[in-house]
Amino acid sequence: MNRFILAVTAALCATGVARAEVTQDDITNDQTNTAQIVTNGMGQQLQRFSPLDTLNKDNVKNLVPAWAFSLGGEKQRGQETQPLIHEGIMYITGSYSRLYAIDVNTGNELWQFDARLPEGILPCCDVINRGAALYGDKIYFGTLDARIVALNAKTGDVVWNKKIAEYKEGYSYTAAPLIVNGLVVTGNSGGEFGIVGEVQARDAETGDLVWTRPVIEGHMGTYKGEESTMTGTLNATWPGDLWKTGGGATWLGGSYDAETDTLVFGTGNPAPWNSHLRNAGTPVDGNTGDNLYAASRLGINPENGEIKWHFQTTPREGWDYDGVNEVVAFTDAEGKKKFATADRNGFFYVLNREDGKFLNAWPFVKDISWASGIDENGRPIYNEENRPGDPAKAADGAKGEVVFSSPSFLGGKNWMPMAYSQKTGLFYVPSNEWGMDIWNEPISYKKGAAYLGSGFTIKPNYEDHIGSLKAIDPMTGEWKWEYKNDAPLWGGVMTTAGGLVFFGTPEGEFKALDDETGEELWSFQTGSGIVGQPVTWEQDGEQYVSIVSGWGGAVPLWGGEVAKKVNYLNQGGLVWTFKLPKQLAMAN
């Protein structure tokens, strides 16, 4: 439902100022144009780094609230969005598939769109949405009933509304879409329901499908309405017909590396979780058991959807570690162009930008138990005794051997994006130190029903902290510093040329740390837990910072013993916007 459309249209017309459309050049140069934020990740490379240095270590103590905006109503839950800012308007998505346009000067609502979801949606991990995409005169976002919607950015009117997949089968969509050369590129969610992960590209103007690329071997892609090529080789790594419900949801969305003209998408867990049902680990009739391309990073040709390369972080994955974590492009201290990704499995990987080939990996959490390390080819060195047991070998056949695995299935790092500083050359990785009791159970596929074949209980590894923000050197894997937090970290990180690292905590604190030491320099209590993604921009000569506060996400739903530790936290739904006033910018 749109509100205040006539009022905002009249106000815009009264100014006599035509709103500029977002171009591909705007998207390409988003990181360096400090007056706007038109991409998820504050730039196509997903570095979440701002070159602004007006706000710095000396004056961040003078950062003050400028305005706050309530998402309203009773539809709160987790607020994981990243704001976009263009031509004086902030755009944010909210829980239950809502989108807001806000006057960035006043915090007043200009319009609101509610997707009006049907009964029977099946989101696994809260009713969140992680952001939108701007292009031309439109704004695009996905909905929990697995649709992609294009709205007029000025009025909020629907331009087109397209179905990604069938929500009754367990599909949904929560990620920010990706814009590349006039295409809107989307993934899908639903890995707990035996769906098939896929990347789709649509004409941004019409919504017409251009290509599709399923990410599980055996499935056929399409190009301009016709079958194109098969993904992988049928039954090369999947036994029997299990590939038909193989999982691999592309639920976190992707990135675009312009220098190699490559889309990079991560893929989720193979289905079911019970790896023994997939004949995983023991080759059968030439089957490697790796279950491609689940738990992988894929390089995809944006023109036609063909897979250029793949790198699988957890072959024959059996702990729900997925492989969707964002892939950040960067140039290292020696001038070499690389990718970095911090996987849910607890290892921080560095890959070659040209072909996705493995270069190096190091642990970024303390107690990895499922593998002893990563070999020279990038494959894990498994601790086989830490694989959840096969129920078929149990006396009653109902429950396999229980093992304690670390990290937990919520990951050393889950969806929450890390940041890279061009100033320090370090990555700032929000991580969690927790493990789980996990076991396998028999399971069979039923459309629209959970397809796990596992049970679990998450437990903290330490009494004094779960959350851990780490500064990591991508040349060596060394942790330069660690900032510990009592509750799990579940929100994004941003870093700036002013030497600051911004992030929020479930306890509601929005913090700024020294990028070299991890020392806390500033904090503000937002009133609810923060699981959103901070941004910063420049306006009228002043630097602004925004964060969306609103507790929720997967932790209170799936967190086991950890959930009990955070069940006192209040839900909410507020956009907090701060600024450094000009008269205080020089104050020390």
Please give the positions annotated as active site: 320
DSSP designation for 69? E
Grouping H, G, I as helix, E, B as strand and the rest as coil, residue 553 is coil
142 phi/psi in degrees, rounded to 5: -100, 165
Q: Are the C-beta atoms of 218 and 234 separated by less than 8 Å?
A: yes
> What is the rounded distance in angstroms from the CA atom of residue 417 to the CA atom of residue 252?
10
What is the per-residue DSSP string for 196-255? B-EEEEEETTT--EEEEEE-STTPEEEETTEEEEESS-TTSSS-TTGGGG-B---TT-EE
**H/E/C letters for each residue in 350-416?**
EEECCCCCEEEEEECCCCCCCEEEECCCCCEEECHHHCCCCHHHCCCCCCCCCEEECCCCCCCCCCC
Q: Are the C-beta atoms of 267 and 215 separated by less than 8 Å?
A: yes
Cβ neighbours of residue 583 under 8 Å, at least 6 residues apart? none
Please count the CA atoms within 13 angstroms of the CA of 139 that sit on its side-chain side: 28
Q: Which two structure tokens, joined as six digits, stand for 237?
A: 């790594």
Block residue for tokens 């998450």: 458
Block residue for tokens 């806000």: 102
Cβ neighbours of residue 82 under 8 Å, at least 6 residues apart? 40, 41, 130, 131, 176, 492, 532, 533, 535
> What is the rounded distance in angstroms from the CA atom of residue 373 to the CA atom of residue 34?
41
> What is the rounded distance in angstroms from the CA atom of residue 210 to the CA atom of residue 226?
10
Beta bridge partners of 374: 380
Task: Summarize the chain as % helix, strand, coil (round to 5).
Answer: 10, 35, 55
How many Å separate Cα 437 from the centre of its chain?
25
CA distances from 498 to 51, 91, 580 (A): 8, 25, 13
How many Å separate Cα 22 from the centre of its chain?
23
H-run or E-run covering 420: strand 419-420
How many Å separate Cα 456 from the centre of its chain?
23
C-alpha torsion 157→160→165→166, nearest 10:
60
> What is the rounded distance in angstroms from the CA atom of residue 582 to the CA atom of residue 566?
39
Tell me the residue type at 453. Answer: G
